Amino acid sequence: MQVVADLHLHSKYSRAVSKDMVLPIMAQMASKKGLDLLTTGDFTHPLWLREAKENLKEIEEGIYSLKQTANRLQTTAESSSRKAESKNETRFILSVEVSSIYSQDKKVRRVHSLLFAPNIETAEKINKELFKRGANLTSDGRPIVGLNPQNLLEIILSVDKSCFLIPCHVWTPWFSLYGSMSGFDSIDECFGELSDQIFAVETGLSSDPSMNWRIKELENRSIVSFSDAHSPMKMGREATVFVRKDGNSKSEARNPSFNYDDIRRALMQDSKAKLKIGYTIEFYPEEGKYHYTGHRNCNVSQSPDETKKKGTVCPVCKKPLTVGVMHRVEELAESPEDFESKPNSSGLIWNLDPRKLHPPFVKLVPLNEIIAEVIESPVGSPKVARIFGDLVEKFDSEMNALLKTSISEIEKVSGADIASAINKVRIGDLFIQPGYDGEYGIVKISKRKDVADVSKNIDLQNQLGLDI
């Protein structure tokens, strides 16, 4: 059993978000991508919450599915086709990203937080409490409030003790817990006496788990990754995979039974939890918009080593540089970067924590982006969509094609060039140019021949107890 979860998404009611971010389309795309659990996102927006109430039905405590899906499953419960009907069922959990902008210690702070609620009724109560405090909940699905994150956490816990808060994209310079431009140096500084209630942080696109492993206060906290997607195709570019703690990966294979509290306890690393985090799926952090320090108007980009030598003033215009995620990690880290990379039998590189404090992770490039580069066609073109659809139809999901399917089988469907490109992504044979100051980085398929050393392959499926 595994639950592939993407718990940071936005609806059509958030700014700069696709009109296609509606529940039925999100569920349909989740099926294609191999995502089992999504967040609704944006539960503070009254129109979106109304849509959630109209379209969703609670199937486990705090876990929802589309009403049409739930009804279909109920009517086919005794049918031999039930397995086929249910294999693509997408489940939802309630959350919202909130932007806190406030002043503390004579500095403007901008911190984003993910709030989770155990049911729609609790979400409605949270909205009432925020409205009482002057929050404008109708202008944006990701509301801006003058409350600090500690206040937010106090509010949601006063409504229901099973609510929880995850600081999101914690290294983004302008809007995060550790952000170089408006954040803090520690969780304690931000959350005060409620710091012990912060049991997970989200990496964000510009950092990966190994960077976060270097922060001492995160040693005993969960490090999760989600997509922060603004369109359906971007869903799953980062995800967190939950597995059974008892290691029974085959049980309830496609539609595992779990509820809101199972997810919460897994994130808490509760000893009595049914689930645990098995691994995370990562965007290449260099492709994130703030990986390196720099100034995009002057085309200045600096690595941490260069920043240590040259400082944080733009050599061209003499204005301050935007300090990137890598440099900020270096500032707060208490240990050097340390991780082990090992390929499994499919050549997929797994990155492991040598101290065994955290689960492993893999880095991927979205399938449609791989296809687009190989065939030299726009990522949104019909030609890319057709090949993407062929691979998904044959191998059940994008995740299966990227993580599990043999390269020889992929070649039969899409040809040698695309199969080779997927293999290069698995083994990390890529050209990478880090992003900086709001400019996305570049991750391209390398032109070099495959360099995987198959003699070093190990069977991580058995070693880690993961269904991959």
The tens digit of pLDDT for each residue in 39-80 reads 999 999 999 999 999 999 999 999 999 998 655 544 444 443
Task: Average the pLDDT over 1-11 and give the result.
Answer: 97
Residue 217 has pLDDT above 70, yes or no: yes
pLDDT at 81 over 90: no
Radius of gyration of the chain (CA): 22
Closest CA to 420 of 350, 379, 373: 373
- Can you give the pLDDT at residue 246? 84
User: Does residue 453 register a pLDDT over 60?
Assistant: no
- pLDDT for position 454: 34
Residue 256 in this model has a pLDDT that exceeds 80:
no
Q: What percent of the chain has pLDDT over 90?
A: 87
* pLDDT at residue 70, as a whole number: 52
- Closest by CA to 239, choosing from 252, 221, 225, is 225
Q: What confidence score (pLDDT) does residue 86 get? A: 42
Secondary structure class of 365 (helix, strand, coil): coil
| pLDDT computed for residue 78 by the predictor | 41
Q: Among the ranges 67-71, 220-224, 463-467, which has the highest mean pLDDT value?
A: 220-224
**Where is 462: in which H helix or E strand?**
helix 460-464
- Domains of the chain by start residue, with CATH: 2-286 (3.20.20.140), 292-332 (no CATH), 367-464 (no CATH)
pLDDT of 12 higher than 70: yes
Q: Which of the four pLDDT bands, split at 50, 70 and 90, describes residue 466?
A: low
Residue 247's pLDDT is 76
Tokens encoding 83: 């397995």
Running DSSP on this structure, what letter comes out for residue 271?
Answer: T
Beta carbons within 10 angstroms of residue 43's beta carbon: 25
Confidence bin at 185 (pLDDT 50/70/90): very high
Three-class secondary structure of residue 143 per DSSP: coil
Which residue has better confidence, 335 or 73?
A: 335
pTM of the full structure:
0.92
DSSP state of 186: S
Q: How are the residues of the chain apportioned to helix, strand and coil, as percentages rounded to the nearest 5?
A: 35, 20, 45
